[in-house]
């Protein structure tokens, strides 16, 4: 990963930026049960905190009406794909595996789905419901090759753990 990406735009480390954004998100969504509002807030905070490195930031959610497919959810960026089959592309592969995928070169990923040809690298993080079932995935694309690493994985996984509230 390029040295220029080791810090966030305002001089804090990326790990510090993720911790700050996660705290901000927790404060914004406190008491909000609506999942769409929670996801939209997360996409917005992440996209703005990590611009321009984050070119597309958003969610693909499991569609209960069409099992085996993810449907686009709240996002920031250019037009996204509307639906992605489980197991297809980076998002579908991460959803099927239930684990985070970091792809340094999306054009080398077998079956990559090019929603926007400017995307060069990608990280996809599963989002789980409190019962452990897959709710969807967080998808972040960059126009820079090899833009994501273990710092991004840890920060995004921690943030995703906040997204789907337990029903009470």
CATH code of the domain containing 112: 3.30.450.40
pLDDT band at 114 (very low <50, low <70, confident <90, very high): confident
Segment 83-97 shows an average pLDDT of 95
Domain total in the chain: 1
Q: At what angle do helices 35-49 and 150-160 cross, to 10 degrees?
A: 150
- Does 168 reside within a domain? no
Q: Which two tokens stand for residue 78?
A: 């250019």
Query: Is residue 160 a contact partner of residue 22, using CB atoms and an 8 Å limit?
Result: no
Both structure tokens of 98: 């239930």
Higher pLDDT, 149 or 9: 149
Asked if the structure places residue 111 within a domain, the reply is yes
How confident is residue 140, by pLDDT bands cut at 50, 70 and 90? Answer: very high
Determine, yes or no, domain membership for 60: yes
The residue among 106, 111, 114, 113 whose CA lies nearest residue 146 is 106
What is the model's pTM?
0.91
State the residue range of the domain holding 63: 3-160
- In-domain check, residue 82: yes
Instruction: Give the pLDDT of residue 138.
Output: 98
Task: Please list the residues that pair with 136 across neighbouring strands.
Answer: 61, 127
The pLDDT score that the predictor gives to residue 111 is 77
| pLDDT at site 28 | 97
In order of 14, 88, 92, the CA distances from 44 in angstroms are 17, 26, 23
Please give the average per-residue pLDDT across 100-117, as a whole number: 86
Q: Is the pLDDT of residue 120 over 50?
A: yes
Q: Collapse the DSSP code of 94 into the 3-class scheme (helix H, G, I; strand E, B; otherwise coil) and give the result.
A: helix
Categorize the per-residue pLDDT at 116 as very low, low, confident or very high, splitting at 50, 70 and 90: confident
For residues 133-149, give the mean pLDDT: 97
The maximal CA–CA distance of the chain, rounded, in angstroms, is: 45
Residue 62 lies in a domain: yes
CA angle 164, 166, 168 (to 5 degrees): 145
Instruction: Identify whether 12 is part of a domain.
Output: yes
Query: Which value, to the nearest 10 degrees, does the dihedral of the CA atoms of residues 168, 41, 122, 87 take?
Result: 40
> Is position 41 within any domain?
yes
Q: State the pLDDT at residue 110.
A: 82
* Confidence tier at 13 by pLDDT (50, 70, 90): very high
Predicted confidence (pLDDT) per residue in 14-34, tens digit:
999 999 999 999 999 999 999
Residue 47 half-sphere exposure toward CB, CA atoms < 13 A: 19
- CA nearest to 76, candidates 57, 91, 60: 57
Q: What percent of the chain has pLDDT over 90?
A: 83
Is 165 inside any structural domain? Answer: no
């Amino acid at each position: 990963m390029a040295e220029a990406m080791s810090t966030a735009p305002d001089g804090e480390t990326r790990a510090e930026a993720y911790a700050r954004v996660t705290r901000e998100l927790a404060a914004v969504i406190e008491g909000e049960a609506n999942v769409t509002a929670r996801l939209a807030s997360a996409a917005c905070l992440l996209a703005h905190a990590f611009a321009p490195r984050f070119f597309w930031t958003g969610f693909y959610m499991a569609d209960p009406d069409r099992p085996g497919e993810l449907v686009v959810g709240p996002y920031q960026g250019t037009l996204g794909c509307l639906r992605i089959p489980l197991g297809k592309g980076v998002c579908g592969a991460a959803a099927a595996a239930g684990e985070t995928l970091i792809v340094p070169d999306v054009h080398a990923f077998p079956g990559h789905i090019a929603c926007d040809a400017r995307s060069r690298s990608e990280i996809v993080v599963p989002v789980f419901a409190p019962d452990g079932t897959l709710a969807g995935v967080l998808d972040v694309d960059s126009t820079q090759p090899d833009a994501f690493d273990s710092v991004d994985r840890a920060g995004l996984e921690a943030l995703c753990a906040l997204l789907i509230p337990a029903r009470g």
